[in-house]
Amino acid sequence: MNVPLVDLQEQYRRISAQLDEAVHRIVSKGDFILGGDLESFESEFATYCGVHYGVGVDSGASALEMALRAFDIGRGDEVITVSHTFVATVSAIVWAGASPVLVDIDPKTFNIDPDKIEAVITQHTKAILPVHLYGRVADMHAVQAIAKKHGLLVIEDACQAHGARLDGRRAGSMSNAACFSFYPGKNLGAFGDAGMVVTDDAAVAEKLRLLRNYGQKRKNRHDLLGYNRRMDNLHAAVLRVKLRHLDEWNEQRRGAARLYDELLGALEWVQLPVAPEGESHVYHLYVARHPRRDELAIHLQNNGVSSGFHYPIPVHLQPCYDWLEMRHGVLPHTERAASTVISLPIFPEISKEQIEYVSSLIMEFG
């Protein structure tokens, strides 16, 4: 049996009629840039998240950088985030001109440890940027309390958490602005790169609309130094179709996670993700820990099963971040996670048989 880490072809196969219709509608009208489906999707996704405004951009990485810029965060400013994340979280801070300040994670949740934040706040700190890693919402109550106490902005990296909730509120609605990626493999994925910033702040939304479109309020008038970073209508049309399936897909992911939990729960040498109550986890990834995860990955691969490491080298130890001068050992929980995590196949359409097969391979590996 072959089990991929994610299976985009199977998703397409099941809703291809709806998706083909959406693509055809855009192509036949020649309606490619701004307006139309982009505006509709922005308002539908913002409403889904529980906020007023959505601004579609060309990637999650752009969303993060532009959100920071829209709040005038730049040179001389510090932004607190984690090192156990996809590199773009940190790179966006640097692109905006600010300095990333990286703190350790809570090893149980893989998310920012709120107890580590206050010690690194300085007079230059402008924002906290929590990441809802793997689809699990960070401890936003604690993050918000710290931000309020110190007068800081909060910007969510929700690139892995479409639809996740904390006490009824969706990821994206618990901060000044939140950034999403619609990279094809995310829980809500386009037919290429796309992203969005969602916010309740009308002025920030307006600034983002200028930034993504050459800083242009009206034709040939450039009020801001902008970019060309719009979300294409083709992606918006595809995402409108897929948004209607997102809750069902997330429920299927939670079902798959529960089955892994059941089948692997008794194994001493495997540490499973700690499952929070309710809908606060949307399992973008199902990440276990194993002391010999490299060998386990090879064993799985030899038997037709793909797995992944998210992420094997923490951002602070990447060659491009040498200049941060953060040595081995400074973020112990982050570094331990990097060397033990293994992501098992998970996607809405994964079958019971596939999960049982993956689990049996893990049990026989020991």
Ligand X SMILES: *Cc1c(COP(=O)(O)O)cnc(C)c1O
Query: Which residue in the block uniquely carries the two structure tokens 């890693």?
Result: 133
**Residue 102, interface with ligand X (CB under 6 A)?**
no
Between residues 25 and 333, which has the closer beta carbon with respect to ligand X?
Answer: 333
Residue 61: CB minimum distance to ligand X, A = 3
- Is 110 a binding residue for ligand X by CB under 6 A? The answer is no
Instruction: Identify the helix (H) or strand (E) that includes residue 46.
Output: helix 36-49
Is there binding between residue 175 and ligand X (CB under 6 A)?
A: no
Q: Which of 11, 81, 85, 340 binds ligand X (CB under 6 A)?
A: 85
Residue 346: CB atoms within 10 Å: 24
- 343 forms part of the interface with ligand X (CB under 6 A): no
Residues 6+ apart with CB under 8 A from 282: 135, 136, 161, 162, 163, 164, 187, 250, 253, 254
Give min distance, CB of 265 to ligand X, in A: 27
- Tell me how far, at minimum, the Cβ of 365 lies from ligand X, in Å: 28
What CA–CA distance (Å, rounded) separates 285 from 308? 9
Of residues 20-79, those binding ligand X (CB under 6 A): 59-61
Q: Which residues of 251-282 are buried (b: 16+ CB within 10 A; e: fewer)?
A: ebbbebbebbeebbeebeebbbbeeeeebbbb
In the bound state with ligand X, the residue whose beta carbon lies nearer, of 235 and 290, is: 235
Q: With the CA atoms of 225, 228, 233 and 234 taken in that order, what torsion angle do they form, in degrees rounded to the nearest 10?
A: -160
Count of CB atoms situated within 10 Å of the CB of 221: 9
Under DSSP, is residue 231 helix (H, G, I), strand (E, B) or coil?
coil
Stretch that binds ligand X, among 86-94, 237-245, 264-272, 317-325 (CB under 6 A): 86-94
**Which of positions 135-164 make contact with ligand X (CB under 6 A)?**
157, 159-160
193 binds ligand X (CB under 6 A): yes
Q: Is 88 in the site for ligand X (CB under 6 A)?
A: yes
- Name the residues that contact ligand X, by CB under 6 A: 59-61, 85-86, 88-89, 131, 157, 159-160, 181, 183, 193, 195
